[in-house]
Amino acid sequence: MSRHYRMGETLIRAVDGVSLTVPKGEFVALLGSSGSGKSSVLNLIAGLDRPTSGSMIVQDRDLAKLSRVELAKYRLHVVGMVFQSFNLIGSMTVAENVELPLRFAEVERESRLSKASEAVERVGLRARMDHRPSQLSGGEQQRAALARALINRPQLLLADEPTGNLDSRTGTEIMNLILDLNRQMGMTVVMVTHERALAERYAQRMIFLADGRVVDDQSNSPHSATSGGPA
């Protein structure tokens, strides 16, 4: 698939003929320098963007052919996303941020509260449920974002530089949580990172991108998997 766009007179080839297959339950890392197209690929997988040409097939559905409404449903039910900058809504508490996708899914209030509380519990943030994002540390904010991503039990977790704004210890904690989800729930994880070491530690497969193209695709034996826990 390709994703080209114009910036003035220049044609930007953000994704230029990338062809990938990610099996269910795999932990994949997309690596590359800034502008290599890794985030653009992630946005295409997330259904936030559409390819200019080619297909993006998830669970036998071509995302390029889905309507805007169907894409929104796909993002709501199939995909969970975490971002480098956490992307929590500042005017809402942790609990409200976490349950927000359930509001879009029109889930009843009681059910929403119990599911949100379960998700927050899972990421170890129960004591901070009623705090606003500004009252939390970076690690706590990312945990909250992770709880929000999990609330609809997605099959696909997309993480865009999830440890980019965290110190190494907090980053490790977050990565362990993601790894747990991958292993225990069989969730497919696609993580964008520019840290090769992080990818080697957690991902089963490393895909290297440069100028919108796949330049290398390696299998990896994550250290965390062999050691039974993060380094």
Partner 1 sequence: MKLPDLTELALRNLRESLLRNSLTTIGISVGVASLVAMLSLGIGLQQLASRRLVKSGLFDTVVVTSRRDLRGMGRDDDRPLVTPGESRVLDEPSRREIERLPNVLEANPDIRFITELNYEDKPHLTMIAALPSSARSNDAFEGMQGSFFSSDTADEVILQKSFAAELLGKTPIPGGVEPSVEELARPLLGKQLTMRYAQRAPAPTPSAGPADAGGAAAYSVVSREQQLKIVGVADLDPETMRGPMRAKVFLPLKLAESLHVMQPTDLREIASAASDQPVYSSLSVRVKDPAQVQVVEDAVKKMGFNTFSILDATKSLRQFFAVLDLFLGIFGSLALAVASIGIVNTLVMAILERRREIGIMKAIGASDEDVKSLFFAEAGAMGILGGIVGVALGWAIGQVINVGTNVYLKRQSLPPEHFWAVPWWLVGGAILFALIVSLISGLYPASRAARLDPVQALRYE
Nearer to partner 1, 83 or 208 (CB): 83
Question: Smallest distance from the beta carbon of 173 to partner 1, in angstroms?
Answer: 22
Q: What is the 3-state secondary structure (H, E, C) of 17-29?
A: CCCCCCCCCCEEE
- Which two structure tokens, joined as six digits, stand for 10? 């220049």
**Considering only 28-36, 73-81, 180-188, 212-220, which stretch makes contact with partner 1 by CB under 8 A?**
73-81
162-201 binders of partner 1 (CB under 8 A): none
> 219 with 205: CB under 8 angstroms?
yes
| DSSP assignment letter at 11 | E
**Rounded to an integer, what is the distance from CA 16 to the centroid of its chain?**
22
CA angle 39, 155, 131 (to 5 degrees): 75
> Contacting partner 1 (CB under 8 A), which of 4, 73, 194, 213?
73
Helix axes 138-150, 109-122, angle to 10 degrees: 130
H-helix or E-strand spanning residue 180: helix 168-184
What is the closest distance, in whole angstroms, from the C-beta atom of residue 169 to partner 1 in the complex? Answer: 27
Residue of 1, 16, 28, 75 interacting with partner 1 (CB under 8 A): 75
Residue of 53, 55, 59, 91 interacting with partner 1 (CB under 8 A):
91
**By CB under 8 A, is residue 89 in contact with partner 1?**
yes
Say whether residue 115 binds partner 1 (CB under 8 A): no
Contact present, 171 and 199 (Cβ < 8 Å): no
Number of residues near partner 1 (by CB under 8 A): 27
Pick the stretch among 28-36, 70-78, 198-206, 212-220 that binds partner 1 (CB under 8 A). 70-78
- Please, which of residues 123-152 interact with partner 1 by CB under 8 A? 148-149, 152
| Structure-block tokens of residue 91 | 């005017």
Element (H, E) at 80: strand 79-82
- Site of interaction with partner 1 (CB under 8 A): 43, 46, 48-49, 68-69, 72-73, 75-77, 81, 83, 87-89, 91-92, 100-101, 103-106, 148-149, 152
